[in-house]
Amino acid sequence: MTPELGHFALALALALALAQTFFGLMGGWKGRVRWMDAAHSAVMGQTVFVVIAFSLLSRAFMTNDFSVAYVANNSNSALPALFKFSALWGAHEGSLVLWIFILALWSLAVSLFSKSLPETFRARVVGILGLVSVGFLAFTLGTSNPFLRLLPAAPDGADLNPLLQDFALAVHPPMLYAGYVGTAVAFAFACSAMFEGRLDATWARWTRPWTTVAWLFLTVGIALGSWWAYYELGWGGWWFWDPVENASFMPWLVCTALIHSLAVTEKRGLFKSWTLLLAILAFSLSLLGTFLVRSGVLVSVHSFASDPSRGIFILGLLTFFIIGSLVLFAWRAPLLQSTAGFGLFSREAFLLLNNVLLVVSAALILLGTLWPLFMDAFSLGKISVGPPYFNAVFLVPGLPLVVAIGIGMHATWKQSRLAPKAVVFAVIATIAAVLALGFMVWLSHYTLLAAIGFMAGVFVIGSSLYEPWQRWRGGHSLPAAVLGMALAHIGVGMFTIGVTGVESSKIERDVALGVGDSTEVAGYVFKLESLKAVQGPNYNATEGEVTVRHDGDLVATLHPQKRNYWVRTMPMTEAGISVGPGRDLFAALGEDLGGGRWSVRVQYKPLIRYIWLGALVMALGGLLATADRRYRRRRPEEVAVASNSAPAEG
């Protein structure tokens, strides 16, 4: 009975989402207080029913209710409890429930925590979020009901794909979705501003914390996915330019551009239409990502054509939101004139550069991601776009961007006044050059690209430290926004150093090893000491013991496993990894080659941890920035745009 209740709860949530949309948008338009209040009550009600549906589905998983088809397909009684819980979003239907659940939480948060905003504006935001809810609830109920019964019930479940039975993958989707769905909030703020015909510094100040929080979830979500791919799936790679990965990275790039463009809109009242466009774009790319991943179009455009209902629905949703918001934009944007000018080396100019580079990169990644689909759809041959293309379109705009961050942070608003800082830049650049040389000597790797990469990374970190250090030394206040920005940019520097280290000096080698054999990689001697059989909760495994010695000293003992999961009879590789501040040592078992020998992949990955650490620090910076006092002022007086505010508040 409970699954039917869950289905019913989703239907009620849809009804309430419709009410939320109507009362939010109409109430905001007509200015009717009672309608607007009704919209907020509808948010509350919608959230309650979505939470009920989510809990009931979760309950079906936890209690092994294999009469529910979705549970039977994605769980098993032998599955550990944590993975029974996370199996909820292990496949299509459940991940939609997760989407809806997170959207409901975001909507509730906006409804509760934005009481300082004007009533009509807030009602419209809630109305537009309601519209998104309606789309996804209707999609789920119409094409992907997770509560569908299986009659007769399966005796046991088909199990969760072993690749997904992992901690990082239990947390990755919720984080990523929190980011995806968060772009809907920025989108709703943008649409609301267009409806109201009002877009000023105050608007930007309201929008910024929400956008930053969405961005930081996206950042953490992507980093978790990359980390998981590294140790579980990728045989030691951290990014594959897989369409699914690109689908999450493109919204991130645009969202990053958006939070910077919002800074200009808040501080200087410029880039208004551009900011709106970015908000629309970020949300559209999030929807596109959902479409790409969920429609089956990536498996094959033809598989899309053979089972089109889901794909068509999301495509329709995508078209509706993109066209709708662009029409709104074309109609309203001309109202938003901004007249102020700015210097060639002003902060505005640097942020413009930031935006251009990020958006160009996102556009080229989009091209590479969609091109094979177009070729295939028009029967022009089956192609794939190789990683070197994506590396190029990421690196070419990316490296100048990193350098520009280091300089641009010290630019002042409005006017070009960088000259007095020339000495500071020279000093930081010299330190960066020395440290870059140090990195290269340590890795004994000397190429121009590595030199530029290390230097750019250190330069950004040094440059980010300078401003807080100056303020601290001068006894000035250190607002959270300044610290947050510095921290996020230090994260960028760490990421840059990590990528440069791994991509310049990694070593990956496949070897055949018998027990007692060893192989040397970058001065590390990997020796296969033993192989033994072990048993896990729902798998058998062969476990190797690999010792790693450097100059005769034991530095690590690795325990790579080759698992065989019972239910899906699917082999899985669990790598043995030794984590260090300077390098990862990695060993993975391939297969039994006969004659007592196994194929083994051994790897040396210098500085790889800084890729994910950098991403975490970026997210932490974002979190700190949202804690800035000025976002929490209640009913702020309409302050005139402070054109000469302190340079580093951004």
Return residues touching another protein (CB under 8 A).
89, 91-92, 95, 161, 163-164, 173, 233, 235, 244, 293-294, 296, 298-300, 302-303, 341, 343-344, 349, 352-353, 356-357, 360-361, 364, 367-368, 371, 381-389, 392-393, 396-397, 510-512, 514, 568-573, 588, 590-591, 593-597, 599-601
Beta-carbon contacts of residue 341 (< 8 Å; ≥ 6 apart): none
Q: Closest CB to another protein among 384 and 447? A: 384
Q: How far is the CB of 607 from another protein (least distance, A)?
A: 24
Chain centroid offset of residue 207 CA: 19
Q: How far is the CB of 455 from another protein (least distance, A)?
A: 21
Chain centroid offset of residue 40 CA: 29
Q: Closest CB to another protein among 362 and 440? A: 362
Query: What distances in angstroms separate CA 262 from CA 199, 255, 358, one per listed residue?
Result: 11, 10, 14
Question: With contact defined as beta carbons under 8 Å apart, do 248 and 224 qualify?
Answer: no
Q: How far is the CB of 153 from another protein (least distance, A)?
A: 22
Question: With contact defined as beta carbons under 8 Å apart, do 537 and 80 qualify?
Answer: yes
Question: With contact defined as beta carbons under 8 Å apart, do 5 and 146 qualify?
Answer: no
Give the residue among 57, 18, 54 at the shortest CA–CA distance from 38: 18
Q: Closest CB to another protein among 108 and 602? A: 602
Q: How far is the CB of 452 from another protein (least distance, A)?
A: 16
Dihedral angle sign, alpha carbons of residues 486, 487, 492, 498: positive
Q: Closest CB to another protein among 173 and 498? A: 173
Q: Closest CB to another protein among 153 and 512? A: 512
Q: How far is the CB of 1 from another protein (least distance, A)?
A: 30
156: tokens are 């046991």
Q: How far is the CB of 388 from another protein (least distance, A)?
A: 5
- Which pairs count as long-range contacts for 101-105, CB under 8 Å and 24+ apart, including other chains? 101/50, 101/51, 101/54, 102/174, 102/177, 102/178, 102/181, 103/129, 103/132, 103/133, 103/136, 103/181, 103/184, 104/13, 104/43, 104/46, 104/47, 104/50, 104/51, 104/133, 105/47
Q: Closest CB to another protein among 341 and 636? A: 341
Give residue for tokens 């340079």: 647
Q: How far apart are CA 118 and CA 349, in angstroms?
A: 32
Q: Closest CB to another protein among 508 and 649? A: 508
Give the residue among 219, 207, 263, 275 at the shortest CA–CA distance from 648: 263
Q: How far apart are CA 559 and CA 545, in angstroms?
A: 5
Q: How far is the CB of 393 from another protein (least distance, A)?
A: 5
Q: How far is the CB of 451 from another protein (least distance, A)?
A: 20
Q: How far is the CB of 165 from another protein (least distance, A)?
A: 12
Q: Closest CB to another protein among 318 and 617? A: 318
Q: Closest CB to another protein among 171 and 233? A: 233
Give the residue among 605, 296, 646 at the shortest CA–CA distance from 479: 646
